[in-house]
Structure 1
Amino acid sequence: MQTDAQMRAVVEGGGQRALAAGHGVAVEAGIRRYSSSHTNQQNGQQMGAVANFLAGGVAGAVSKTCTAPLARLTILFQVQGMHSNVATLSKASIWREASRIVYEEGFRAFWKGNLVTIAHRLPYSSINFYAYEHYKQSLQLIPGLDRHRDYMTADVCVRLLGGALAGITAASITYPLDLVRTRLAAQTKTIYYRGISHALCAIYRDEGIRGLYKGLGATLLGVGPSIAISFSVYETLRSHWQLQRPNDSALFLSLACGSISGIASSTVTFPLDLVRRRMQLEGAVGKARVYNSGLFGTFRHIIYTEGFRGLYRGILPEYYKVVPGFGIVFMTYETLKSCLSGRDSDV
């Protein structure tokens, strides 16, 4: 989720509106023009909700597929400390792990778990989208937040709270698919799970319904901070950049600010993502349990056995996929948006 959090933005309308892909919170460049925000939103919906959602979904799937090798490397590094000794961990490197994958599993193994990632995106995004709108409308009825069109603070609170609640809702409902993705991506030479449906059935059979939700607490704990950091860094950088360089391309500006906000959010929330991955694999396929004391006990165990650096195992491939992930999302989204807009206009 960070992950879904860290894919981090889709920019609409030539960079005028960024949708945080991991959590569905909208960051609008015109956020200070509160009295006309409703009209601007209506004027900006040129394709219609369905076409807009389709373009964003396809763009996210294409980006996930293109950056899947880096995503799998991130997962493999994150879970290395569970059953590996210190000597093995000290020899780990991106090039060595990538070479091992090609030699032992074949080149196609870089995309292990990508199909379930794509299958996860549609329900996650749709739930996120509709939940965000519902929560936003409900929050606007609360005294103090009902003046969101007139006051910056109220508007920001509505967006942050709505985005956080929508992210929690979508993550909770679709979490089993995220867990299956981790289990499939973490498999190396020994194949136990043969696909999405087999993994779901096997986990339910071996570990019960609770097994499908291992690590959910770490996911939900990271939703709010991830949205808040992405939102604040994006808006701060964008405002400062526009003051210093008002003639720069809006698309480039959103890409640059979105990438930096994604890196900042990744840096802060990565330990939670790492703990989530390890808890998702806890006791999988009959392996011995490593962490037996919950979320915070897992943090203590990792720090004690691997040091604070252990909490950031795999952060480099995570960084490497942020900028190309953004670029692919922008390119695919804008291309599809132009095609769909042209088709709508012909009708």
Structure 2
Amino acid sequence: MVMRTEARVSVSSGQSVVGNKASSHRLTQDQRSHIESASQLLAGGIAGAFSKTCTAPLSRLTILFQVQGMHTNAAALKKPSILHEASRILNEEGLKAFWKGNLVTIAHRLPYSSVNFYTYEHYKKFLYMVTGMENHRESISSNVFVHFVAGGLAGITAASATYPLDLVRTRLAAQTKVIYYTGIWHTLRTISTDEGILGLYKGLGTTLVGVGPSIAISFSAYESLRSYWMSNRPHDSPVVVSLACGSLSGIASSTATFPLDLVRRRKQLEGIGGRAVVYKTGLFGTLKRIIKTEGVRGLYRGILPEYYKVVPGVGICFMTYETLKLYFMDLSSKL
């Protein structure tokens, strides 16, 4: 009887130990999952902010060129000159002016890029699962489809979540001689007072129409190029591969969606300082008016500094993200 009791106690405590180990294992897995999520958010945020800071001068030049035709007679418009405009900014506003609005850019990019990269990874996993393509990851067509859709959904999610900061950034960067907004909070308050709360979302529809395809093309082109490169040259530096593939994907994305981005910028500046509304129609009406007053080339006003910006910018962003993600994964594996 004593032996049986001891045996039961022994078995019971053995089960308890196993149960505790399993519980501990589950807890460890949960912790690793949380660490992985935090790593993706942190890596994405830092990558976006760092990339935007590096290319802020070119980003401001792009915005200034994009809005040139809003309140100016088309006949009076000069041929865009990057050097001339850069010299003007330097002489009239000083060196710091090249980073005008960069603080709000960082404030926008940290959450935007975090949400963008984080949701992209999760949309990708979800799409593989619901479409049954989990076992067909080697298929190029299924991969392109998943990356394209996941990228588009991630871009729309991130843009919707952080839009007011994007609007503030555009308005601060577009200011030249007349300073109407003095900072992030002043801009948010002024827009809310002058244009109502909905004024903070002016141009959101056009933004979502443009940002979905833009991020979709960017991510799908990047993933496809990177996969092709690594399969043919597996020993190349991951940093170099990310930089090169990111730059090429940025060019493809910007070329395809630049007219939509131009309309977005102009919509964001509508009504600034009580000025008259220029574009009273929707997306297609605005595109039609720009073509009529400025020609087809007007849709690509500012594309050159955009290319100069996007090649290093997107490349740096993907490179920084991949590098930080690997670093955080290596760090978490040692915990």
Greater C-alpha radius of gyration: 2
Flag the structure with more relative contact order, 1 or 2, with Cα contacts below 8 A and sequence separation at least 6. Answer: 1
Unaligned runs of 5+ in 1: 1-43
Per the TM alignment, residue 317 of structure 1 is displaced from its structure 2 partner at its CA by 0.8
* Aligned-partner SS, 1:82: coil
Give the superposed CA RMSD. Answer: 3.1
What's 2:263 paired with? 275
2:42 is the alignment partner of 1:69: no
Letter in structure 1 aligned against 2:110: L
* Aligned-partner SS, 1:75: helix
Deviates more, 1:221-230 or 1:165-174: 221-230
2:118 is the alignment partner of 1:125: no
Give the distance between the partners of 2:120 and 2:315, measured in 1 at CA. 25
Identify the match of residue 281 of structure 2 among 271, 293, 297: 293
Give the distance between the partners of 2:72 and 2:324, measured in 1 at CA. 45
2:234 is the alignment partner of 1:255: no
Q: Is the 8 A contact 2:47 2:113 kept in 1?
A: no
Mapping for residues 214-253 of structure 1, pairs under 5 Å? 214-238=202-226, 241=229, 245=233, 247-253=235-241
What's 1:203 paired with? 191
Q: Deviations over 1:13-36 (max 9, x none)?
A: xxxxxxxxxxxxxxxxxxxxxxxx
Unaligned runs of 5+ in 2: 1-31
Per the TM alignment, residue 79 of structure 1 is displaced from its structure 2 partner at its CA by 0.3
Q: Cα distance 1:270–1:327, how it changes in 2: closer, same or farther (>3 A)?
A: closer
What's 2:136 paired with? 150
Letter in structure 2 aligned against 1:150: H
The sequence identity of aligned pairs, in percent, is 68
Give the distance between the partners of 1:247 and 1:148, measured in 2 at CA. 26
Q: Cα distance 1:328–1:124, how it changes in 2: closer, same or farther (>3 A)?
A: closer
Mapping for residues 54-203 of structure 1, pairs under 5 Å? 54-132=42-120, 135-136=123-124, 139=127, 142=130, 145-150=131-136, 152=139, 153-203=141-191
Decide which structure has greater helix share: 2
Give the distance between the partners of 2:56 and 2:219, measured in 1 at CA. 25
* Aligned-partner SS, 1:229: helix
2:253 is the alignment partner of 1:265: yes
Per the TM alignment, residue 146 of structure 1 is displaced from its structure 2 partner at its CA by 3.0
Q: Cα distance 1:223–1:91, how it changes in 2: closer, same or farther (>3 A)?
A: closer
Q: Cα distance 1:256–1:132, how it changes in 2: closer, same or farther (>3 A)?
A: closer
Letter in structure 2 aligned against 1:304: K
Per the TM alignment, residue 174 of structure 1 is displaced from its structure 2 partner at its CA by 1.2
Per the TM alignment, residue 181 of structure 1 is displaced from its structure 2 partner at its CA by 0.5
Give the distance between the partners of 1:86 and 1:130, measured in 2 at CA. 43
Q: Is the 8 A contact 2:44 2:114 kept in 1?
A: no
Q: Is the 8 A contact 1:291 1:298 kept in 2?
A: yes
Deviates more, 1:269-278 or 1:195-204: 195-204
Q: Deviations over 1:250-282 (max 9, x none)?
A: 432332122111101101100000000001011
Q: Deviations over 1:124-166 (max 9, x none)?
A: 2343355445545654564xx0343336355544443233223
Give the distance between the partners of 2:225 and 2:328, measured in 1 at CA. 31
Q: Cα distance 1:285–1:292, how it changes in 2: closer, same or farther (>3 A)?
A: same
Give the distance between the partners of 2:144 and 2:325, measured in 1 at CA. 27
* Aligned-partner SS, 1:282: coil
What's 1:319 paired with? 307
Aligned length: 303
Q: Give me the TM-score of the superposition, normalised by structure 2.
A: 0.79
Give the distance between the partners of 2:222 and 2:122, measured in 1 at CA. 24
